[in-house]
Chain A
């Protein structure tokens, strides 16, 4: 396990989301923008172990895994802007990012990542023995019929599939506990699948747990299920006032909640060129993580991994600076033609 490498990937994932947040705040991206902040340790711990031919099916919080997978950043950002030269030609948007090269697919339909990944896995078992597929899913999604159907057939056909279930405790405003029967790990075991829980804030623990499951899948020993507990640092989507009540009684949250979607999904604003000038420069990711005004800091995996890098202090700061520069360049590239006649 290469800790500095994992650290770098986590920072890249976070820095990317911070850039998206800036773009959203400046009105370049509209609609519900779900960030994967808080899930970086899982993305890094799992996706750094994937290689050529491995499939990846993702959810509405897809960015961290795609960033770690090495999908080019500027086209991803351009896709969020709806540009013709975006990753999907401006047709997918943030909930539907695809990369043929990386066999990566995303769906805004909750639960859909599981059957898609099972298809990738079945194809791989025929076409590229040794290659596997990974499904990321939220815990809420595990109650969808299509998710349960997939658990069954993955076991029945011993598919080379690893299901990474991120449990952040919530599905929008409903606590997952209140609508989920039994434990998800036992549920997967009930289907005959290897399953365990891991602390999703601890990149080393995630890496180790995923390594075992990925190895099993690669050598034909069948599917497994990893439940990773993560914080939901930015609420369900950007601008979600619920973030302030994540750990507070619902009654208090309701006051600030208001008409969420109507306020969040529709944003106007001045000309694109004006707004482009306002997108902040990417400073140290770590400094930003510490400083966040609205983001929950409790349990932030980025702050945790920083400490584990104490022994590599100089490298730590260098990586931070390199990541900031990389993201800044990607944002600059993504916004390069802004103001040249496009009206957004």
Chain B
């Protein structure tokens, strides 16, 4: 089964092939569509993914193209959706399970933690678990709690998963195709806040963006902003503000949280001497803590200031009118940068 398409394009590189302006949601859909065309082992399952095409339209048109045997409307049963995916994956299928909102994955945690993540290790590689779990995550669209959460740290503290978070349409398609082709369980977190926020040129054909490699979304010399998903754009925004004050920020878009591209992080921090990590999830035990620890372990002597974190607060995701206070904003990032510069 040969994979067609360009290998590992860098972020935002304008490809030579035919492109179409697409949103993240469309890019996600096309990634699945193309992989389903290429590989009949790829199937899609989840709540409302079939006849309806998904509550976020990410599976729109797939059932018409591939039929109900490959695009499966499941009962409302996350535990079974993921548990079945484990069984399917171990039997040679490549399931892509959709969890409607990341906050609804909890009933399936047992299947994910106790089974999906451990299959390869337990069987010394005899069985693996080539499955993708797609989960719209994060805030910014106003509904309460479970509909706005960002709990990637749970999965990063569990060995056995790859965790991928695209920030733009080009990466969304390339990373999802890599995830589908990967032999391990990949949690693919989709930033619903920017699902349709902007369009970008996306190649019409299949291509991959390699897992485990971060991208430098903006080059700079004074401070490194490290983010993923929807927060990348907020960091880019903050960089524009900083640029007006003659502060030149570099923005590292991690794209994959596990495996983590430490090299890119460290070489950026070695260059700038300062780092701010930005994420939506609560601060305590969030992935920012791990990144900060790694920077201190590997670039302590090059640091000009302690690493700062701009994160959600240690509370349940608040109701709509407090959402703005909770989510890291351009201003909070600018303040954190000023703090590391003033140290």
Contacts and interface: CB of A to CB of B under 8 A. Distances in A.
Interface of A: 30-32, 81-82, 90-96, 108-111, 140-141, 143-146, 171-174, 178-180, 250, 254, 257-262, 265-267, 343-344
B76 A141 contact: yes
B53 interface: yes
| Pairs of residues from A and B, 3 with the lowest C-beta to C-beta distance, nearest first | A31-B143, A173-B52, A143-B75
Interface in B32-90: 47-48, 50-53, 55-57, 73-80
Contacts of A144: 76-79, 107
B174 interface: no
Contacts of A93: 144-145, 319-320
B107 A145 contact: yes
B75 A179 contact: yes
A116 to B, nearest CB: 14
B209 to A, nearest CB: 25
Given A31-B320, A174-B50, 16 more contacts: A81-B321, A82-B322, A91-B318, A92-B144, A93-B144, A108-B146, A109-B106, A110-B104, A145-B79, A146-B107, A171-B76, A173-B55, A254-B52, A260-B57, A261-B141, A262-B195
A266 B77 contact: no
B73 A178 contact: yes
A29 to B, nearest CB: 8
B112 interface: no
5 contacts: A82-B320, A108-B147, A173-B55, A250-B52, A257-B52
Most buried by A among B73, B74, B76, B147: B76
A133 to B, nearest CB: 21
Nearest to B25: A259
Given A32-B147, A82-B322, A171-B47, A261 B56 contact: yes
A19 B141 CA distance: 23
Contact of A265 (B142, B146, B316): B142
Q: Is the interface of A mostly helix, strand, loop or mixed?
A: loop
A172 B145 CA distance: 19
Given A173-B51, A250-B52, A261-B55, A267 B76 contact: no
A260 B48 CA distance: 12
Interface size class of B (residues with CB under 8 A): 35 or more
A279 B56 CA distance: 30
A96 B144 contact: yes
Contacts of B192: 261
B196 A30 contact: no
A135 B203 CA distance: 51
Contacts of A265: 141-143, 147
A254 B61 CA distance: 10
Contact of A267 (B52, B142, B316): B142
B75 A262 contact: no
B53 A254 contact: yes
Contacts of A179: 73-76
Contacts of B320: 30-31, 82, 93
A344 B52 contact: no
Given A173-B51, A174-B73, A259 B144 contact: no
A259 B142 contact: no
